[in-house]
Amino acid sequence: MKTSFYSYSLPELRALFEAQGLSATGAAKLYHWRYKHRAPASGNELSKATQSYLQENMSFELPEIDRVQEAGDRTVKFLFRLADGKKVETVLIPSNRKYGICLSSQVGCAMKCSFCHTGLQGLSRNLETHEIVGQLLGAQRWLSEQRPGKDRIATVVFMGQGEPLHNFDSVRRACEIFLSQHGLSFASDKVTISTAGYLPGLVRWKAEMPGVNIALSLHAVEMKKRDELIPINARFPLDEVLAQIDQIPRNRKRFVIYEYLLAKGFNDSVEDAEALGEKLKGKKAFVNLIPFNPYPGAKYERPTEEEARAFKAVLDEHGIPTLIRFTKGTDILAACGQLNSKPPTG
Catalytic residue, chosen from 89, 128, 131, 259, is 89
The helix or strand, by DSSP H or E, that contains position 176, with its residue range, turns out to be helix 168-179
* Nearest residue to ligand SAH, by Cβ distance, number only: 337
Q: For residue 90, which of 103, 105, 81 has the smallest C-alpha distance?
A: 103
Q: Are 289 and 311 in contact (CB under 8 A)?
A: yes
Please list the residues that pair with 68 across neighbouring strands. Answer: 78
Taking the complex as a whole, how short is the minimal distance between the CB of residue 31 and ligand SAH, in angstroms? 29
Taking the complex as a whole, how short is the minimal distance between the CB of residue 154 and ligand SAH, in angstroms? 19
Taking the complex as a whole, how short is the minimal distance between the CB of residue 196 and ligand SAH, in angstroms? 3
Nearer to ligand SAH, 9 or 288 (CB): 288
Q: Are 158 and 192 in contact (CB under 8 A)?
A: yes
Nearer to ligand SAH, 7 or 217 (CB): 217
- Torsion 233-236-240-246 (CA) sign: negative
Number of Cβ within a 10 Å radius of residue 104 = 28
Catalytic residue, chosen from 102, 109, 113, 336, is 336
Nearer to ligand SAH, 22 or 113 (CB): 113
Nearer to ligand SAH, 12 or 240 (CB): 240
Residues 87, 107: Cα–Cα separation, whole Å: 7
Residue 89 annotated as catalytic: yes
Residues 158, 214: Cα–Cα separation, whole Å: 10
Taking the complex as a whole, how short is the minimal distance between the CB of residue 46 and ligand SAH, in angstroms? 39
Nearer to ligand SAH, 182 or 254 (CB): 254
Residue 175 annotated as catalytic: no
Residues 267, 43: Cα–Cα separation, whole Å: 60
Taking the complex as a whole, how short is the minimal distance between the CB of residue 57 and ligand SAH, in angstroms? 34
Residues making contact with ligand SAH (CB under 6 A): 113, 115-116, 159, 163, 194-196, 217, 259, 261, 290, 292-293, 336-337
SS (H, E, C) 22-64: CCHHHHHHHHHHHHHHCCCCCHHHCCHHHHHHHHHHEECCCCE
Q: Which amino acid is at 221?
A: V
Nearer to ligand SAH, 23 or 114 (CB): 114
**Biggest alpha carbon distance in the chain?**
69
Apex 336 CA angle, 239 and 153, nearest 5 = 110
Taking the complex as a whole, how short is the minimal distance between the CB of residue 207 and ligand SAH, in angstroms? 21
Residue 336: Cβ-neighbour burial (10 angstroms; 0-12, 13-18, 19+): buried
Catalytic residues: 89, 336
